[in-house]
Chains A and B, each alone.
Chain A
Amino acid sequence: MKTAWRLAFAMIIALTLVACKTAPKAPEAAPPKETTPVVETQAAPDPHDYTDSRNFDNPESLLSKCVIYFEFDKSTVLPEYRGIVSAHAAYAAAHSSARVTLEGHADERGTREYNLGLGERRGNAVMGLMTAQGARADQVVVVSYGEERPTCRVSDEDCWSLNRRVEVVYTAR
């Protein structure tokens, strides 16, 4: 029962996170000033079309979700996160120039070097699902940070559940 609550909590956090982060780019030159304003007339994207890059910023779409959470000392992608992984796999499959870094993380319990291994194992689990669904292996890189980059720094289960994660980071879309 407790586990169910924790998962629900993690889910809520996952669903409230907006727009996946992208790797920092070199600053672009300011665009030239336009004399006539351009009017956007495009319709809202279909949230289930994961090949549409506009869905990265569409909170209705799974493509806008980029964090996959895990159970303690486990690297199995839970059913509730498989949709997020599939969305990113579909995008990568449709955009051959897209490049993704899967950042694997662990909570603070246990030793740092073992947790590096655990973070990598989680990243590999996500990568395995993505490549099985059409992403090419050379589009995806796994980097493990172990317990070194927590998002939350309190020693309790709520916080730990947020730190056991894989973050999907696009280095090229």
Chain B
Amino acid sequence: MYLHVRSILFLSTTVTDNVKKILIFCLTLMASGPVLAQLEIQIISGNPSALPIAIVPFQWEEAGPPPATPVDEIISGDLYRSGLFDPIDKSDMAERPVDEESIRFGTWRLLKVDYIVVGRVRTPADGSGHELVYQLFDVHTQDRLLSQVTVVGEGDLRFGAHRVADAIYEALTGVPGAFSTRIAYVTAAGLGPDQRYELVVADADGFGPQSVVGSPEPLLSPAWSPDGKKLAYVSFEKGNSAIYVQDVATGARELISGGAGINGAPSFSPDGKKMAMTLSRTGNPEIFVRDLATGQMSQLTNHWAIDTEPTWSPDGDTVYFTSDRGGKPQIYRVPPSGGTAERVTLEGDYNARASVAPDGRRIAVAYGRGNEYRIAVWDMETERFTIITPGVLDESPSFAPNGSMVLYATREGNRGVLSAVSADGNVRQRLILSDGDVREPAWSPVIR
């Protein structure tokens, strides 16, 4: 099923097979009972140079029954969706080795795979949770590239499989994986008085969606705390915009700002101690920074323009924001202690809602030209844009915590869907909900 992913259009035959498999996969997941509709992930365009890899089914050595979705499938799915790997189908595996001694490398060379992963799942010595014991080999050199034991708690087997995929990804690309992360997004369904908004959190592969908060009034701008435990967001539930912070696990929440005018665009500082936000209590939107421990507010901008969408550099030394002080929206930056704002994006008619890459050197923005809005990446060193999405109403870019992908919102017909694109624009996938709009994605930090 994972063979032959090329730069192909959606619905050409090879991909259709994949989609069928994914649909079946999703149906299986739904049968196991999540309350909310599952995001269905489809690869729209793949990478011709994806690395062929074999993830051999892990031997199940626990006393209980094996899970409905085996860990090898979760690992293969993660690697496949990254666009960098082309995992071979299980049915093409003539042998199922579980350790180094049982691998006959010649067989795998004939299958034209470059890498092979073998492993087992067993119960740890203390009797609770799962131990994933696995090795990664280069089929050509027969070198062992990775030999690890990943231990996770009871009920965290999927998380463990994502951790294994993270380690394989890092061993072969040099970049840490981001599969064991989560995504937050807003869904909107129904019309008029039946309109319903939900802020949802799911695993990065769309599995296990959970509603964090629901409202008949608009919800927007979810932002993760750096520890991945809380979400800040904007809710219109009281008739005007207000900023809340909510603990994802317990549901406990706190009103951060709900005064007259706009209360919008919350963004946690990288140390989690401060929050930048947009307030228009002075008469027009300005950027403020709140000390979350003391509640003390400082005003970062003071301009008649719309100043909004603040976001922090990874080192916490810079706040990027959108401002139309030059006539059109562009990205500016200012130190969090205040000072003179400096323009960052130097090209284009409309650049807004920056997401800073983890390396701090690039920002992804909604890049507007005429009636077309795409996601573009501005390299702050070369001062160049790379447009990475086809448009035409793309917005809300959110970098993966490893910088490899950008999650964003787009339209398909008159419906909102999420897409993820590799940071170079070469590999793109689409995340579709069975019903209604999906929008406002936010990729979580790495959860340790």
Please report A residues at the B interface, Cβ cutoff 8 Å: 73, 108-114, 116-118, 120-121, 124, 141-145, 148-149, 153-155, 157
Contacts and interface: CB of A to CB of B under 8 A. Distances in A.
Contacts of B261: 120, 142, 144
Range of interface residues on B (Cβ < 8 Å): 35 or more
Contacts of B280: 117, 120
A111 B284 CA distance: 17
B350 A110 contact: yes
Nearest to B280: A120
Contact of B366 (A111, A116, A120, A149): A111
A148 B285 contact: no
Contact of A108 (B239, B262, B393, B396): B393
Contacts of B373: 109-110
Contacts of B352: 110-111, 114
A141 B265 CA distance: 21
B135 to A, nearest CB: 46
Nearest to A118: B306
B278 interface: yes
B353 A113 contact: yes
Closest 6 CB pairs of A and B: A117-B306, A148-B218, A111-B353, A111-B352, A117-B285, A113-B265
Contacts of B240: 143
Contacts of A109: 368, 371, 373, 393
B42 interface: no
B329 interface: yes
Interface string B123-167: 000000000000000000000000000000000000000000000
Q: For A73, A114, A145, which residue has the most chain B Cβ atoms within 10 angstroms?
A: A114
Contacts of A110: 329, 350, 352, 366, 368, 373, 395
A117 B280 CA distance: 8
A116 B328 CA distance: 15
A139 to B, nearest CB: 14
Given A109-B371, A110-B373, A111-B396, A116 B241 contact: yes
A111 B396 CA distance: 7
Given A111-B329, A116-B262, 9 more contacts: A109-B393, A112-B220, A112-B221, A113-B309, A121-B306, A124-B284, A148-B218, A148-B236, A155-B393
Contacts of A114: 306, 308-309, 322, 324, 329, 352-353
B4 interface: no
Interface string B59-82: 000000000000000000000000
A113 B366 contact: no
B218 A117 contact: no
Contacts of A143: 239-240
Contacts of A154: 414
Nearest to A119: B262
Given A112-B220, A148-B220, A117 B308 contact: yes
Contact of B284 (A121, A141, A153, A157): A121
Nearest to A154: B414
Contacts of B262: 116-117, 120, 144
Contacts of A117: 262, 278, 280, 284-285, 306, 308
Nearest to A143: B240
A153 B414 contact: yes
A154 B373 CA distance: 16
B128 to A, nearest CB: 44
A125 B161 CA distance: 55
Interface in B321-377: 322, 324, 328-329, 350, 352-353, 366, 368, 371, 373
Contacts of B27: none
B388 to A, nearest CB: 17
A120 B218 CA distance: 16
A110 B393 CA distance: 8
B264 interface: yes
A149 B195 CA distance: 10
A146 to B, nearest CB: 8
A121 B368 CA distance: 20
A50 to B, nearest CB: 27
A120 B393 contact: no
B104 to A, nearest CB: 55
Contacts of A153: 414
Nearest to B220: A112
A120 B282 CA distance: 12
A88 to B, nearest CB: 20
B86 interface: no
